[in-house]
Chain A
Amino acid sequence: MSRKIKGERLEQRWQGVAVSEGLAAGRVLRIHSGVRQRVYRATLAEDEVERETRRFRAALRLVRRQLHDVRRKAERALGAEHAYIFEAHLLMLEDRKFLEDIESYIRDERVNAEWAVKVVADRLLAIYAEITDEYLRERSSDVEDVIRRILVALSGEDAPGARLTHDAIIVAEELMPSAAAELDFAHVKAIASDGGGWTSHTAIIARGLGIPAVVGLRELYRHARTGDEIIVDARTGEVVLHPTSGTQELHRTHVAAQAAAVVTGREADGGAGALRDAGADVAPEPVRTLDGVEMTLRANVELPAEYAGVRRFGARGIGLYRSEFLLSQHDAMPSEDEQCAAYVELAALTGADGATIRLFDLGGDKLDGLLESAGERNPALGLRAIRFCLQREDILRTQVRAVLRAAAQGRLDLVLPMISDITDVRRTRAVIEEERARLQTEGRETGALRIGAMIEVPSAVLVADKLAREVDFFSLGTNDLIQYLLAVDRSNDEVAGWFRSLHPAVLQSISRTLDAAAAASIPAVVCGEMAASPAYAFVLAGLGARDLSMTASSIPRVRRMLRGIEAERARAIAAECLECATADDVEELVGGRLGEGWPNLFPPEILPAPNRKE
């Protein structure tokens, strides 16, 4: 239909997975992740050798400055231990043998610095390639990273961060943590990458900072050029390269609608960008529906980079702290003292509202090389979470002691992941009480600790009434609950169409769990990603949820939605949903009722649409 006009390129569309919501338009900034550069050999005249050596040293100084910067940024965003890898990179730049080898190669062979760097580096990498230990061998990627930096510095190109304009949209094959740490996020409007997943650090950081991000965009990197116009719609997972004027116009209307929603809302809470600029902390005022039902909104947190969002977005404390982050920081099990310090920090951050720490949810996809993975054939159903903790009691006891000690200095709760049988709760409680007694004998102070169960396995839902008598609270993890209930691997694109948050079986399980908690008079917090979507959160409220925990940046829009609805009407609509036979029926019902009832709160694009396929 549209003929290619000279100078104008055809619009191209990609469908990916949205890992951090929002909508942004801007210009592509390609970030290459360790792509090898071509290096040529040039022979120097005798009198050029000295200058070449000086040029090499100048490049080293530049790289050193960059690395110091990167390390500082990484420390701030990801934690000091995570930044330590850059210490190793800096030491490589100070490695006398390495530098002397390069300089003498320049002198003896009379070649350009690039060639000398490449020859010496290749020799090194050849030796590393012989290393049999897989983990140690992989460290050659650190050497490659440093080499790449030196070559870039020699080429006179700017560091990636320096080229950021105000409307940069990062496009990468895969944004590695080191590259992510280097970016000045204040200037990044969105991220789009070929690879990566929901749990990648980039996705987590993007969510924490409220930047839209879409991943799983095959070959986008190859097609996009720095400076190209691009739209990233992380509400639908769509990315448009070279948008036509029509598409741009449509996009502007959406942005305007978003902005209007901000104005009509009672607080500046619509566009993530606007919020980041405003930067003001939102006081955690009570959230009430129009008919006076009080709701509590908390934050899910993993990275220190997300701590700032807890206050900024007005969360009532942390509803879910994914403690596994501590492992990624240390390359090894963090000690009791290190863990205790991290938990005390959470308690200090959240004050009277408190923080709920989830025991290490290890196993399956999260082991990545840290612990000897048994190479399970079915990790999602394998030795993970509470099962792993009970198997590796040494790890469990260290974590329990750290939490008990930290609880003496603030309000902390502990939640046990992947409970499928009440016996798991009893065994864990026994360990906790033993460690409490031991700490007291040692003369250490311990604090009161509420113990909760994650409800994410169907068997736990079915015995929820009995489970409710053995724990102090429930925490509904909707992501895993849907995965286990519907038997859908949520990291497998092929079956993404079967992952239906509004499946009647999911709603009945949530309803049953909430009822069991209410009957036993214990609190229940819903902390899966469902809580972060206004339409889903509406249904959750209708099913009786009063306590939701989500990515902090999602809190404002959920809060605005809740303040604009009546809990009673939500209850009636949820009751209708429970009568439905299929996920399609529920989605159609919810889409229709919300769109008619509250058109300003639920514009069409945020409503579930049945069978939304290409």
Chain B
Amino acid sequence: MVEQQVVVKNRLGLHARAAARLVRTASAFRSTVRLERADSSASADAKSILSVLMLAAARGTHLRATAEGVDEREALGAVCALIVGGFGEMEE
């Protein structure tokens, strides 16, 4: 299993559109991908949009992303890149 800490950067947080991109990305891999709030109050299956929305990850939320499986490194890299990149919707 691999893991990485990330911070949600886009202004609206993991709202429906961002969550949709995240789920599409995670679903492209065979590994299990999970997101957990850094304070461990909630965790989500990154391939389930309802689960991701339930994280209620607003801007500034610290998350722990984990991946486990045959393509875990690629999966984790892709998901984290999306979050760190603010889902390509940064103001600047």
Contacts and interface: CB of A to CB of B under 8 A. Distances in A.
A394 B54 CA distance: 33
Interface string B5-20: 0000011111111011
Interface string B57-85: 11000000000000000000000000000
Interface string A226-262: 0000000000000000000000000000000000000
B43 interface: no
Given A331-B12, A332-B12, A398-B92, A143 B50 contact: yes
Interface centre among A136, A137, A143, A335 (most CB of B within 10 A): A136
Interface in B3-56: 10-17, 19-20, 23-24, 45, 47-51, 53-54, 56
Given A95-B50, A128-B54, A332-B89, A88 B45 contact: no
B59 to A, nearest CB: 9
A139 B15 contact: yes
Contact of A331 (B14, B17, B49): B17
A96 B13 CA distance: 23
Given A85-B17, A139-B15, A92 B49 contact: yes
B20 A98 contact: no
B54 to A, nearest CB: 6
A58 interface: no
A98 B91 contact: no
A370 to B, nearest CB: 9
Interface in A97-142: 97-98, 124, 127-128, 131-133, 135-137, 139, 142
Contact of B50 (A124, A137, A333): A124
Contacts of B58: 133, 135-136
A84 B15 CA distance: 12
A127 B24 CA distance: 23
Interface residues of B, number: 28
A97 B47 CA distance: 10
B14 A91 contact: no
A95 B51 CA distance: 9
A91 B49 contact: yes
B89 A133 contact: no
B79 to A, nearest CB: 15
A91 B20 CA distance: 7
Interface residues of A, number: 30
Contacts of A127: 54
A295 interface: no
A330 interface: yes
Nearest to A334: B89
A478 B56 CA distance: 43
A96 B27 CA distance: 11
A48 interface: no
Contact of B48 (A97, A133, A143, A335): A97
Contact of A394 (B13, B50, B91): B91
5 contacts: A97-B51, A136-B56, A330-B89, A332-B91, A394-B92
Interface of A: 84-85, 87-88, 91-92, 95-98, 124, 127-128, 131-133, 135-137, 139, 142-143, 330-333, 335, 394-395, 398
Given A136-B57, A142-B16, A330-B89, 5 more contacts: A87-B20, A92-B50, A95-B50, A124-B54, A135-B13
